[in-house]
Amino acid sequence: MVRYAPGSAFSPHTHSGGEEFLVLEGVFSDEHGDYPAGTYVRNLVGSTHTPASREGCTILVKLWQMDPDDQMRVVVDATQTPWLPGLVKGLEVMPLHSFGPEHVALVKWSPGTVFQTHRHWGGEEIFVLDSVFEDEFGTYPKGTWLRNPCSSHHTPYSREGCIIYVKTGHLPTSAVSLSP
């Protein structure tokens, strides 16, 4: 998480491992544009920019998790992008980016939705954007970040309904046995 005070800026810098971020509050800016809350941006490996925020902002940032062959810059305004039906009743999905085994999306859970038990062969990271996300291991309110390692499994649900940012398939598998 990075919070920019109003009028703050970073020096120009290069992201040798790539960068992706979701604007949570305010407006993030760089020489490529202004990105209000709800915008997902993916700057490719080797990209350079000069970030700033006139009014201040908070962003969720992921660094060094990109395949160097993934050279597509992505900007998605989640406030204007339609939700698609999910894999089970009560889920809606907004795909943000996919490359190889990596998938990034927003997922909206209706109250009382339960997803089947599943395994994450390439790991999973979740950030709870709204309300409460749950599984058999705990209850995770807004602002919670979870990292489930390769080969982990769980049965997620949400009694209240929630919205999560989820990224799967991007964590190294070299130290993990992938047998069931």
**Which token pair is 73?**
């810059």
Query: Are 124 and 153 spatial neighbours (Cβ–Cβ below 8 Å)?
Result: no
The fold adopted by the segment(s) 84-168 is Jelly Rolls (2.60.120)
72 or 27: which leads in pLDDT = 27
pTM: 0.91
Query: Are 29 and 53 spatial neighbours (Cβ–Cβ below 8 Å)?
Result: yes
CA proximity to 128, closest of 113, 147, 142:
142
Please report where in the chains the tokens 């990224």 appear, as a residue. 167
In the three-class reduction of DSSP (H, G, I as helix; E, B as strand; rest coil), residue 154 is classed as strand
Query: DSSP assignment of 75-130, as one string?
Result: EEETTTSPPEE-SSTTEEEEEEEEETTEEEEEEEE-TTEEPPPEEETT-EEEEEEE
Domain 2-77 CATH class label: mainly beta
The pLDDT tens digits of the residues spanning 94-138 come to: 999 999 999 999 999 999 999 999 898 889 999 999 999 999 999
Q: 84-168: same fold as 2-77?
A: yes
The pLDDT tens digits of the residues spanning 74-86 come to: 999 999 999 999 9
Q: pLDDT at position 120, please?
A: 87
Q: Where are the domains of the chain?
A: 2-77, 84-168
Mean pLDDT of 149-169: 95
